[in-house]
Amino acid sequence: MSMVDELAERLADDTLKAMKHLDDDRFFMEVAAELGAASTTLEEAFLTAVRVRLAERKARAFIKGRIDGTIKKPG
């Protein structure tokens, strides 16, 4: 993993914690804007890291919902 990816991964983890604390699900976009002013390379890696984590959370919630019956199979 490159230095940029490592920094982006750690920053994504910290940002997701801050989002929960702040109760602001778009806070990562503010962080990305700050990053973009200094490094578009780090901004892109950060946004990828955040989106991957958010997608994983959504998928896990879907799986849990199907298992516990709160989400029905389509059709």
How far apart are the C-alpha atoms of 73 and 60, rounded to whole Å? 15
Give the span between the Cα atoms of 37 and 47, in whole angstroms: 14
Rounded-to-integer distance, Cα 11 and Cα 45, Å? 10
Average pLDDT of the chain to the nearest whole number = 95
- Least confident residue range of 12-16, 45-49, 57-61, 67-71: 67-71
For residues 66 and 73, is the Cβ–Cβ distance under 8 A? Answer: yes
Note whether residue 75 is domain-resident: no
Work out the percent of the chain whose per-residue pLDDT is above 70. 100
pTM assigned to the model: 0.89
User: How confident is the model over 54-68, as a mean pLDDT?
Assistant: 95
Q: How many domains does the chain fold into?
A: 1
pLDDT value of position 60: 97
Kindly report, residue by residue over 17-43, the tens digit of the pLDDT.
Answer: 999 999 999 999 999 999 999 999 999
Identify whether 73 is part of a domain.
no
Residue 52 forms part of a structural domain: yes
- Domain hosting 25: range is 3-68
Q: Does 49 fall in a domain? A: yes
Helix (H, G, I), strand (E, B) or coil at 22: helix
- Note the helical H segments in the chain: 3-22, 27-38, 40-68
